[in-house]
Amino acid sequence: MPKNPTIEQVPITAKNPFVLRVNLSQNVPDVEARAALASGDMGFLHSFTTGSTVDGPGVRVVAWTSGCLFRCLYCHNPDTWNMKNGLPVTVEKATDELRKYRFGLKTMSGGLTISGGEPLMQHRFVMKLFRAAHAMRIHTALDTNGCLGDRLSDEELEVINLVLLDIKTWDPERHRHLTGTDVGPVLAFARRLAARKRPVWLRYVLVPGLTDDPDDIARIAQFTGELGNVERVDVLPFHQMGRYKWNELGLNYTLQDLAPPSEELVERTCAQFRSAGVNAY
Ligand code: SF4
């Protein structure tokens, strides 16, 4: 890629989501951006990546959207907070990109995962892309923080094969401290998915000193077990791959020297979920 690429030269694909991408939609007028959000005909994407084995079943193509309402202290992709950091991509272009991988995805029992950022910031675009995936018989998964779940109708929930739901913490005050937002809508979405018997994988980011409180984890584990639709829990150990993004963006990163959780802590956390009757890895 050239040193100072124009928008047209920025590839839609990236090696991984840890590539820093900023200001890719700065020339899209606000009125056009609002129209895109209203119609879903265009979305704002950090990138597509391929070959993921950790974002749903099988081998996945992941579309990383830009835009997020949360401000997680441990976010590893803070360049996705601002929607206009993403590349403007039409549904047609995104569908064409996905089409390239359709046979491989089926062979490897994978599919399309839409992650972020928070995909439901652009729920109309997301649903159009999921419907296009289904037309190609590609499995669909939504990786979401859940806070905008009420943007999806019951009918739209049926189109999504799997929801990867992130629960950050149970305690409302801690949730506000960690993310800047309320936990209520997240838990309400989890309950709604359970009521509609939609398959869910829960994702729990384990951050030493922030999300390792055994009582808090026990409460989430109990909740997860009671829901009845959570097929597995993925305990995701905190890492520092996003630290350079915070520094490059001039953001105040308070976890500069924090080490990842120990194997023992990860295992203790998995054991807490297992004791509530759910598979945890
Ligand atoms: S929800 Fe995800 S993308 Fe948004 S701030 Fe938190 S970790 Fe980052």
Measure Cα distances from 166 to 115, 172, 233 in Å: 11, 15, 10
pLDDT of residue 26: 87
Closest residue to atom 8 of ligand 1, CA basis: 75
Question: What would the two tokens of residue 32 be?
Answer: 């056009």
79 vs 76: CA distance, rounded Å: 9
Percent of the chain with pLDDT over 70: 97
Q: Are 176 and 168 in contact (CB under 8 A)?
A: no
Mean pLDDT of 65-83: 97
Cα 270 to ligand 1 centre (Å): 22
pLDDT of residue 5: 56
pLDDT of residue 120: 98
Tell me the pLDDT band of 54, cut-offs 50, 70 and 90: very high
pLDDT in tens, 203-230: 999 999 999 999 999 999 999 999 999 9
Tell me the pLDDT band of 15, cut-offs 50, 70 and 90: confident
| 85 or 2, greater pLDDT | 85
Q: Which of 150, 146, 142 is nearest to 69 (CA)?
A: 146
pLDDT of residue 203: 98
* E-only strand ranges, 27-138: 42-52, 60-65, 87-90, 111-115
pLDDT in tens, 78-136: 999 999 999 999 999 999 999 999 999 999 999 999 999 999 999 999 999 999 999 99
Cα 118 to ligand 1 centre (Å): 7
Pocket of ligand 1 (CB under 6 A): 68, 70-72, 75, 77, 80, 116-118, 145
Q: Tell whether the model's pLDDT for residue 162 goes beyond 60.
A: yes
Q: Are 40 and 130 in contact (CB under 8 A)?
A: no
Residue with tokens 């509609």: 196
Pocket test for ligand 1, best of 179, 239, 241, 245 (most atoms within 8 A of CB): 179
Q: Tell whether the model's pLDDT for residue 189 goes beyond 70.
A: yes
pLDDT of residue 4: 54
